[in-house]
Chains A and B, each alone.
Chain A
Amino acid sequence: AQSVAQPEDQVNVAEGNPLTVKCTYSVSGNPYLFWYVQYPNRGLQFLLKYITGDNLVKGSYGFEAEFNKSQTSFHLKKPSALVSDSALYFCAVRDRTSGTYKYIFGTGTRLKVLA
């Protein structure tokens, strides 16, 4: 079965410091991986995706993620955190075995950037 794991419920980082939000995956075949951000009482906003190609994927708002096949990881990173980055972050994998290509979400990681 396809799945993603986000091992940290919450990550705290000081403003201006680099941030990392972790995600590992378990899929059969090549993974299609995504990162989304959710602000309070809002839907999900797309940040970036990995389908194929370069392992380092650049996305919205200065975020990037590195696909690491040997470690089955897709960690989200940003060189310098902003207070406005504080939100809930979801890693997702597209389930290519179901025929509907539905998304399977991780449990989410709450990022808190401290001023």
Chain B
Amino acid sequence: GAVVSQHPSRVICKSGTSVKIECRSLDFQATTMFWYRQFPKQSLMLMATSNEGSKATYEQGVEKDKFLINHASLTLSTLTVTSAHPEDSSFYICSARSGEGSYNEQFFGPGTRLTVL
């Protein structure tokens, strides 16, 4: 299957700093990318959907000014957690899909563990 990578895999930062997480589709062009967060022992919660070259669509309750998403190319999307606080500590997972249409499958990245001190 297609490969999606995330970088970094693990990051620790101080409260108040910003952290950028990259999501790359390695062998296909991702017209749509999704960002999820997962708290310990909980399911994946969709944060936002981004289409290449346009603004991300955020799910209800997700602060767009805090979680900045950029999908500048067909192989790269970034999530920036601005002014991070300890409650932002979580496991962030991206997924990517090529093309539109309901038959197109999503491929998931390995996740990024963010710890805010």
Contacts and interface: CB of A to CB of B under 8 A. Distances in A.
Interface of A: 32, 36, 41-46, 49, 51, 90, 94, 96, 100-108
A41 B111 contact: yes
Interface residues of B, number: 28
11 contacts: A41-B91, A43-B93, A43-B110, A44-B44, A44-B95, A46-B1, A46-B107, A96-B102, A101-B101, A103-B34, A103-B106
Closest 6 CB pairs of A and B: A43-B110, A44-B108, A43-B111, A43-B108, A107-B43, A105-B43
A108 B6 CA distance: 23
B13 to A, nearest CB: 18
B111 A100 contact: no
B50 to A, nearest CB: 10
